[in-house]
Structure 1
Amino acid sequence: MDLFAFPPFAFLLDAAYRVLMSVSALLSPLAGAASAALAIVIITLLVRIALVPAGIAQARSEQMRARLAPQLREIQRRFRKNPERMQREMMQLYRDENTSPFAGILPALIQAPIVGLIYAVFLRSIVSDHPNDLLNEHLLGVPLGTSLVGSVGTFSVETAVVFGILIALMTVVAEITRRVFRPTLPPEPDASPLTSGGMQRALGFLPYLSVVFAAFVPLAAAIYLAVTVIWTLAQRWILRRAYPLE
């Protein structure tokens, strides 16, 4: 089922597309053929700036969960044989601290549709029954609708250079993210499978998923992903220092 076939979603998708094309037209005298690529960068940054309050809320929630983690583990240890009592005690702890185990979910839910809408513009060749002219624009001679994997049969030096720079940049960001934000403490002896050492190591490689996606999606989406991962790393680094984990 195509979600954007429904009129309200189709309208939002077309509105996002028209904003991008309008910004590209404004930048054309300055950036020339690269105006659409620059418009993607600017719109992505504006979206991420608008979502900073949601990121702050998530950082605060993460800090709260880290502070309460020892008490939650103690409750789990004491009442592991009585799940109902364990649940009541945990919820009481959250009430005493004036927070909720779901405090970090709402900001994520707010971000998802906005980011998804912008991302969808770069993946569709047709937007509201008209061609997506954004994908016909170029960056250093490479159409924004070109994907690295899809261009294997018609590979060019320009395609290799542009995608090579983006993927190399995203790989560096992914490795920095993995090293900076990996768990600093060993898991508890009775840790659940989701918090075990092996699972934490596996989760540490999640930042590399964006690198993989960048090879399959159109160049326009790859630019969006590159800007997003750089912004996310910088924002997490700043917020981690503003709201350090105990």
Structure 2
Amino acid sequence: MDPFTFPPLAALLNAASVALAGLTDLLSPAVGTTAGALAVVLVTLLVRAVLIPAGVSQARSEQARARLTPRLRELRRRHGKDPERLQRETLDLYRAEHVSPFAGMLPTLAQAPVLGLLYAIFVRSEIAGRANPMLEHDLFGAPLGTSLAQLLVTGGGPATAFLVYGALLATLVVVAELSRRLLQPVQDGSPVSPGMRLLTGALHHLTAVVALFVPLAAALYLTVSGAWTLGQRLLLRRRHPLDAAA
């Protein structure tokens, strides 16, 4: 079932499409055929700028959790054999210290509707009964509404299109690896198995896998947003260092 058949969501999709097309038309005289891609980048930057407070909240929460690590380990030592008691005591500790264990999810959850709208715009040939003008735009020969998987299956597109996708995927992989190495998550004292460490490391690269199958516009959003996340979190880690909290 297509959720955008629901009238309020259909109206939201139409408004987002009109706004993005208007921004693209505004940029076209200055940047020509790359206007659509630049519009997506500007939207991404705007969304991330609005979410800066959520990023700050995430950094503060990580610092607070690092400060609480010794007490969390003590709770695990005392109540490790009683999972329900351990969970209750842990939540009580977070509540008493005004720490949200879910603060780190805020930036990702807040972006989900925007990414969903962007994806919906670039997979539809028509929106509100009109031809979708955004599908006419490309980035150096790579259509904004086509995924790398589609190009590989059809075998179409100029060589520059594959270079564009390759550059985006390479950037996503580098960002993911730097995030894995430089932004280790705060541990709450619970034991972490080698398998869990491997799974956590693989999850950093999940975005690159997703980018293979979504339209180029969505992959562009993921790339810019991922680079922003890495830079922002590194800066905030310097302002709210975990070692100082510990």
Contact in 1 for aligned 2:115/2:221 (Cα 8 Å):
no
Q: Which residue of 2 aligns with 1:20?
A: 20
Q: Which residue of 2 aligns with 1:4?
A: 4
The structure-2 alpha-carbon separation of the partners of 1:243 and 1:24, relative to structure 1 and needing over 3 Å to count, comes to same
C-alpha offsets along residues 23-57 of structure 1, whole Å, 9 cap, x if unaligned? 11110110011111111111111111111111111
Q: Which residue of 2 aligns with 1:203?
A: 200
The secondary structure found in structure 1 opposite 2:150 is coil
Q: Which residue of 2 aligns with 1:134?
A: 134
Find out whether 1:163 has 2:165 as its counterpart.
yes
Contact in 1 for aligned 2:65/2:186 (Cα 8 Å):
no
Contact in 2 for aligned 1:36/1:138 (Cα 8 Å):
yes
Higher RCO (C-alpha 8 Å, min separation 6): 2
Give identity over the alignment, percent. 52
How far apart, CA to CA, are the structure 1 residues paired with 2:103 and 2:139? Answer: 41
How far apart, CA to CA, are the structure 1 residues paired with 2:201 and 2:23? Answer: 36
Cα deviation, residue 221, structure 1: 1.6
Cα deviation, residue 101, structure 1: 3.8
Find out whether 1:230 has 2:220 as its counterpart.
no
What stretches of structure 1 of length at least 5 have no aligned partner? none
Greater CA drift, 127-136 or 166-175: 127-136
CA RMSD, Structure 1 to Structure 2 (Å): 2.5
Q: Which residue of 1 aligns with 2:239?
A: 242
Equivalent residues in 2 for 1:1-246, closer than 5 Å: 1-83=1-83, 85-104=85-104, 108-152=108-152, 153-182=155-184, 191=191, 195-245=192-242, 246=246
Task: Give the partner amino acid of 1:143.
Answer: P
Contact in 2 for aligned 1:10/1:128 (Cα 8 Å):
yes
How far apart, CA to CA, are the structure 2 residues paired with 1:61 and 1:38? Answer: 34
Greater CA drift, 61-70 or 19-28: 61-70
Contact in 2 for aligned 1:57/1:107 (Cα 8 Å):
no
How far apart, CA to CA, are the structure 2 residues paired with 1:31 and 1:209? Answer: 32
What stretches of structure 2 of length at least 5 have no aligned partner? none
Contact in 1 for aligned 2:141/2:160 (Cα 8 Å):
yes
